[in-house]
């Protein structure tokens, strides 16, 4: 995906395959089971050994995905959304949520399980912040205003419940030069759990290439605020 336009990159690696998606879903269920199911220690030890064997089989038969396992910054942006920690179908820790764009708004629905827990029975506030950062960023790209997060303010209204249908919305409210303002809400039914306001900055093509594109060498430190 282009860092400027959000357009798919035809040269992106084929990461979104049925096998990888199935493996991510199974790993997601394993994470939830580790945190929420009780069993005899012998059963748990057997499961751990079986998991280790699976990981070793993958290491022997697999190969690094270009630009990811190596830490290389020359990565393809079209690979990002499937790997999103919020709604990426290839991310083992993602919910994942279903989402769409309606009338310029990012709208997502989903539930969060044990892996997202903070206070007993509720979502960790750090996950709520991550959800807003992802949602506001996607809303900006969908509206033609991609940018990097400069400031994100979260107001926690109510604890966000686990294993409950949630609705996450985000939309761009304005732009002045390179500054983009975006807001979002998180609901459980009719209850407003949290709301956010973010300031994003359009860093321009040259800076985007330095951070995410094909240019070599570390980018110079920069304050993203104009």
Find where tokens 């493996």 sit: 23
Judge if pTM exceeds 0.85.
no
When pLDDT is cut at 50, 70 and 90, the band that residue 149 belongs to is very high
pLDDT at position 210 is: 74
- pLDDT score of 27 more than 90: yes
Higher local confidence (pLDDT), 77 or 27: 27
Domains, the chain, ranges and CATH? Answer: 93-212 (3.10.129.10)
When pLDDT is cut at 50, 70 and 90, the band that residue 116 belongs to is very high
Higher local confidence (pLDDT), 81 or 210: 81
* SS3 state of residue 197: strand
What b/e sequence results for 64-83 when a residue is b if at least 16 CB atoms lie within 10 Å of its CB, and e otherwise?
A: ebeeeeeeebebbbbbebbb
- pLDDT score of 3 more than 60: no
Asked if 68 and 90 touch (Cβ cutoff 8 Å), the reply is no
Rounded to the nearest integer, the mean pLDDT of the chain is 85
CA-CA distance, 143 to 135, in Å (whole number)? 12
C-beta atoms surrounding 8 within 10 Å: 13
When pLDDT is cut at 50, 70 and 90, the band that residue 79 belongs to is low
CA-CA distance, 101 to 171, in Å (whole number)? 10
Asked if 129 and 161 touch (Cβ cutoff 8 Å), the reply is no
CA-CA distance, 22 to 168, in Å (whole number)? 25
């Amino acid at each position: 995906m282009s860092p400027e336009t959000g357009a798919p990159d035809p040269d992106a690696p084929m990461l979104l395959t049925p096998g990888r998606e199935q493996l991510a879903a199974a790993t997601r269920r394993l994470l939830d089971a580790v945190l929420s199911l009780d069993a005899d220690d012998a059963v748990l030890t057997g499961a751990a050994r079986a998991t280790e064997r699976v990981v070793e089989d993958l290491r022997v038969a697999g190969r690094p995905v270009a630009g990811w396992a190596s830490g290389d910054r020359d990565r393809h942006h079209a690979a990002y959304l499937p790997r999103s920690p919020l709604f990426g179908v290839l991310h083992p820790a993602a919910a994942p949520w279903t989402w769409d764009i309606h009338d310029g708004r990012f709208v997502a629905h989903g539930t969060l399980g044990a892996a997202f827990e903070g206070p007993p029975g509720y979502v960790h506030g750090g996950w709520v912040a991550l959800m807003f950062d992802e949602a506001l960023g996607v809303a900006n790209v969908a509206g033609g205003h991609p940018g990097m997060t400069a400031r994100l303010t979260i107001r926690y209204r109510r604890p966000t419940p686990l294993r409950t249908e949630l609705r996450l919305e985000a939309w761009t409210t304005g732009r002045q030069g390179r500054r983009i303002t975006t807001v979002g809400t998180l609901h459980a039914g009719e209850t407003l759990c949290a709301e956010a306001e973010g300031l994003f900055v359009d860093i321009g093509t040259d800076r985007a290439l330095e951070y995410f594109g094909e240019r070599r060498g570390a980018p110079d430190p920069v304050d993203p605020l104009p």
